[in-house]
Structure 1
Amino acid sequence: MFSTLRNNKKGFTLIELMIVVVIIGILAALAIPRFMRASTKSKQSEAKAILKQIYVMEHAYRQEKDVYWPNGATATAIAGGAFADIGVEIGLTSRYTYSITGAPTVFLATANSTVLDDDATADTWTINDFGQLIVTSDDAAS
Structure 2
Amino acid sequence: MKPSIPYLLAYAFTLASRRADEELREHGLTVRQFGLLMQLRLEPELTMAELARQLGISRQSLHEMVGELEQAGHLRREPGATGRTLRLTLVPGTARLLFDAHGPLMRAEEDFLRGMGKREIETLRVLLQRVLAHATDDEAWLA
Q: When the two structures are superposed, what TM-score results if normalisation uses the length of structure 1?
A: 0.26
| Higher Rg | 1
Highest RCO, 1 vs 2 (Cα 8 Å, sep ≥ 6): 2
Higher strand share: 1
Higher helix share: 2
